[in-house]
Structure 1
Amino acid sequence: MRGSPPLSPPLSGRERLQGGRLLVFFPDDTLSDGVSDQVTRGFFDEHNVPPWDTWVGMFREDPESDTQSADYLIAWVPPVFLESVAYGMLVNPEQCIQWLEDSTTMMAKRLKDLTAP
């Protein structure tokens, strides 16, 4: 149709996130040991909370397993922090911070369903 913007191909997951990734934080599971804060040089605070200006939303669901808490926060990690945040997750013994796609949350499952070919 004349005057309509050209159709562009759908964005991939990485393009939608501007090269960043989503993480999930389970606040009820944190030990507040400060290790992730130290290794990420302050990306996470001493309670393993990601910076407030990266928060996408707080969610509650009935966990599918006994190891998952009901409440969780999803945050966006900008590309410049990906390596540091991955290391912060690695040293986090209680695993209260994870990449969203690696979690068992319903949000992770919904996003996978939305992006499946």
Structure 2
Amino acid sequence: MVTGFKRRLAETIAWCLPRAEAARAGVTTRSVELMPPVCGHDGDTLVNQLLSTPAVPAEAVGFIVERRRRALERLKLPLPPLGDLMGGRVFATHFDSDLCGAATAPSNGYLDDYDIPGWDTWFAHDGEWKGGYGEVHGGLVYGWVPPVLLELADQGFYVIPVSSVWWVEDAELRQLMAT
């Protein structure tokens, strides 16, 4: 039985894999059905709220996870095996970016003008994560990028001048999967 981190990751894969399209990366990773209330704000307000306290991104991720789980049950979609993550990759973000919009075009909208990845791909939150200066802010949000979007996401991550979103390395992912 898949539980915790692994179950949420499997649900994210089941939801995103058939929906993601490179030509419409931003649209196909931001469904109205899964949009958490905080993401309805303008970009500046959204970023300020995501950075203010771990409760805000935790609530957003919880909203997405619950909505996705209900939709998958309603659609009777099975959870995939995690093996090779179905060709995708896990990323982490703390949302503390320079907000320059440089990643939007290279990622074809997967990252918005505020360097925020499509919320359909979010599945876990770590409120205990501390930044370089020991501050917690909003913590970390983990997401899964479908294989069809890997190159676009990578190009977007690369052009952000600050390290606000990055690929989770295998050793860290193994630790997270154990939770």
Fold shared per TM-score above 0.5: yes
Number of residue pairs aligned between Structure 1 and Structure 2: 97
Per-residue deviation, residues 71-97 of structure 1 (Å, max 9, x unmatched): 111111000010111111111111101
Contact preservation (8 Å) 2:122, 2:143: yes
Per-residue deviation, residues 33-74 of structure 1 (Å, max 9, x unmatched): 111112111011111111111111222114274388551111
Structure label with greater radius of gyration: 1
| Range that drifts further, 58-67 or 86-95 | 58-67
The structural deviation recorded for 1:112 is: 2.6
Q: Which residue among 32, 45, 56 is the counterpart of 2:123? A: 56
The structural deviation recorded for 1:11 is: 5.7
TM-score when normalising by structure 1: 0.69
TM-score when normalising by structure 2: 0.47
SS in 1 for 2:90: strand
Letter in 1 for 2:99: S
Gaps (5+ residues) in structure 1?
A: 1-9, 103-107
Matches within 5 A, 1:1-117: 12=83, 14=84, 17-27=85-95, 29-63=96-130, 65-66=132-133, 71-101=139-169, 109=172, 111-113=173-175
SS in 2 for 1:90: helix
Q: In 2 relative to 1, CA 46–68 (structure 1 residues): closer, same or farther, beyond 3 Å?
A: farther
Q: In 2 relative to 1, CA 96–52 (structure 1 residues): closer, same or farther, beyond 3 Å?
A: same
Per-residue deviation, residues 87-112 of structure 1 (Å, max 9, x unmatched): 1111111110100228xxxxx63x33
Q: Which has the higher helix share?
A: 2
Contact preservation (8 Å) 2:129, 2:140: no
Percent sequence identity over aligned pairs:
33
Contact preservation (8 Å) 1:26, 1:69: no
Gaps (5+ residues) in structure 2?
A: 1-80
CA RMSD of aligned residues (A): 2.8
